[in-house]
Amino acid sequence: MANKPTIGHKLIAVFEPGKNLLVISGTLEPPNEAAHEQLAALLDEENHPEITVEFTNVNDVLSVSLTFEHKKRDIAAHGAAELKLRHQARDKGIPLATHKANLKAEAEAATKAEAEAKKKSKGGKKDATADDATGNVN
């Protein structure tokens, strides 16, 4: 791993043999906002990555390796989009969640307006339908 980019981290391992339990937990410290958003996209609670766990015991040295991988999500693109939203919210001086809610409301209003415009344009024209009783077209 010497030539691969690394990120800062703080890990702790708690071993409780009486409970048959080993807990490894910690924090990741990405070097910049873009890396943070990409890691957040990778470790998304709602869209879990595939996780591979490998264990080794070589020469009495125990090692653990965890690999997180998304095969369906482009985390670089998703992270870049999220970073753009974060910067827009910062520029407006509002929380990110508020900015996202505003964008969602704007999109819903635009969709509703578009549907109403389509409905209005069809409103003046009658569809040709057959009168059930006579079979004549209206």
DSSP letter for each residue of the chain: -TTS---EEEEEEEEEGGGTEEEEEEEEE-SSHHHHHHHHHHT-SSSPPEEEEEEEEETTEEEEEEEEE-SS--HHHHHHHHHHHHHHHHHHTS-HHHHHHHHHHHHHHHHHHHHHHHHHHHHTS----B-TTT--B-
Task: Answer whether residue 133 is part of any domain.
Answer: no
pLDDT recorded at residue 4: 75
Does 132 have pLDDT greater than 70? no
Residue 112 resides in a domain: yes
Would residue 98 count as lying in a domain? yes
104 falls within a domain: yes
Domain tally, the chain:
1
- Domain assignment present for residue 55? The answer is yes
In a domain, 30, yes or no: yes
CB 95 within 8 A of CB 89: yes
User: 112-126 burial, b for 16+ CB within 10 Å, e for fewer?
Assistant: eeeeeeeeeeeeeee
Tens of pLDDT, residues 10-41: 999 999 999 999 999 999 999 899 999 999 98
Do 38 and 75 form a contact (C-beta atoms < 8 A)?
Answer: yes
In a domain, 73, yes or no: yes
- By DSSP bridging, strand 50-58 and strand 8-16 are unpaired
Which pLDDT tens digit goes with each residue over 94-116?
Answer: 999 999 999 999 999 999 999 88
Which residue range forms the structural domain that includes residue 32?
8-120
Residue 131 included in any domain = no
Model confidence at 72, pLDDT cuts 50, 70, 90, reads confident
Rounded Cα distance, 68 and 52, in Å: 7
